[in-house]
Amino acid sequence: MEFTLFIINITMKINLLSTIGRKVIIATILTSLFLSSTILNAISIRHDVAESNYFNLAAPYDAVGRLSWSTAIGTATLVSPTKILTAAHNVDNDIDGVLDDTLANYQFLTGTDVDTATNTLSSFASIVINPNWITSTGSAQYDMAVITLSTPFGGITPMSVSIQNPVGQVGITVGYGGNGNGQTFADGLDGLRRAANNQIDFVGTESGAFTAQTDFDSPAGDTNTYGSSVALAFEGTTAGGDSGGPLLADFGSGYSIVGVLNAGFNPTGSGNASEYGDVSIWASILDSDNQNFLTANGITLVPEPATYAIISGIVMLLITAVRRRR
């Protein structure tokens, strides 16, 4: 399958480059995204943990569906009854500001198994690409697009989009992309929704792009890039077809979207032909330009920026008050 081979080729290329400095690798991969980003990033799981755990982890997230078009698939999330959030590169991979396929060819389908699901939605009124995706010539920082539906999507609770900083949290990633386990490369699409945990260890600027990132720690602890080298019970990473899928974090009121999957690369997998060590890169909702893009396209952010500022101020006053008491 050409799709699978392309994943392997790109991954091998990444591994060959992995002895060079890490930032060079990132730059190289980001350059490659012009051609490869739709297939760079499905959920790859621990080889020593039953796959059923990852299906169960994904079960609550009916708002996450598969976005398909004529030539490939990605992942997307229902964020209001009429709005779907996905990656810009899923709809404009050549970064010319024009949809790569005709609007009628894009479909959103959700369910635990979208190869058998009937909840198809193809009546898209519009797809708006983040303008910064174009002006930045495809920076990971701005890899977002908003789909507006012609009619409200019923029966599924949309997910909220949060502007809070998720760094340090155990996040959840959900997708329909290529699947596999850490000992091999992810391959094959089976229409099944999987989710995995990963610690969100990095939120910041790297190679000129502000993003959130996670690393796929192996059970052996030998593929660490960020934070702890100890793999979580349901540690996992993303693969081709997961692009546009959400990074989720819980700030106390259930899981919200904090990032949109852009790409992945492997700085530590050299020599072991392994998905372990894979770093996933997410366009972050923390970015104010992304927030402006989302609100301009009818997506409510929680807490709303102004409200959040006020709350932060109150919290600071309370902290000050507590300190004074001491």
Site of interaction with Ca ion (CB under 5 A): 92, 94, 96, 98, 100, 198-199, 215, 217, 224, 226-227
Cβ of residue 268: shortest distance to Ca ion, in angstroms? 10
Shortest CB 326 distance to Ca ion, Å: 35
Are β-strands 246-250 and 170-175 bridged in parallel, bridged antiparallel, or unpaired? antiparallel
Q: End-to-end distance of the chain based on CA atoms, in angstroms?
A: 66
Q: How many CA atoms lie within 13 A of 158 on its CB side?
A: 17
Q: Closest approach of Cβ 223 to Ca ion, in Å?
A: 8
Q: Which is nearer to Ca ion, 199 or 262 (CB)?
A: 199
By C-alpha distance, which of 248, 243, 270 is closest to 259? 248
**42 close to 242: Cβ distance less than 8 angstroms:** yes
The residue (of 94 and 113) whose beta carbon lies closer to Ca ion is 94
- Smallest separation (angstroms) from Ca ion to the CB of 324: 39
Which lies closer to Ca ion via its Cβ, residue 92 or residue 143? Answer: 92
Pairing of strands 209-215, 202-206: antiparallel
What are the residues whose beta carbons fall under 8 Å from the beta carbon of 108, sequence distance 6 or more? 65, 66, 67, 76, 78, 84, 120, 121, 122, 124, 147, 153
Nearer to Ca ion, 138 or 177 (CB): 138
Question: Which of 105/120 has CB closer to Ca ion?
Answer: 105
Q: How far is the CB of 93 from Ca ion (least distance, A)?
A: 7
Q: Which of 162/224 has CB closer to Ca ion?
A: 224
In angstroms, give the least distance from the CB of 246 to Ca ion: 17
d(CA 43, CA 102): 28
Nearest-approach distance from CB 264 to Ca ion, in angstroms? 13
Q: How far is the CB of 319 from Ca ion (least distance, A)?
A: 30
Which of 62, 92 has the CB closer to Ca ion?
Answer: 92
Identity of the residue, 63 or 249, whose beta carbon is nearer to Ca ion in the bound complex: 249
Tell me 273's DSSP state: T
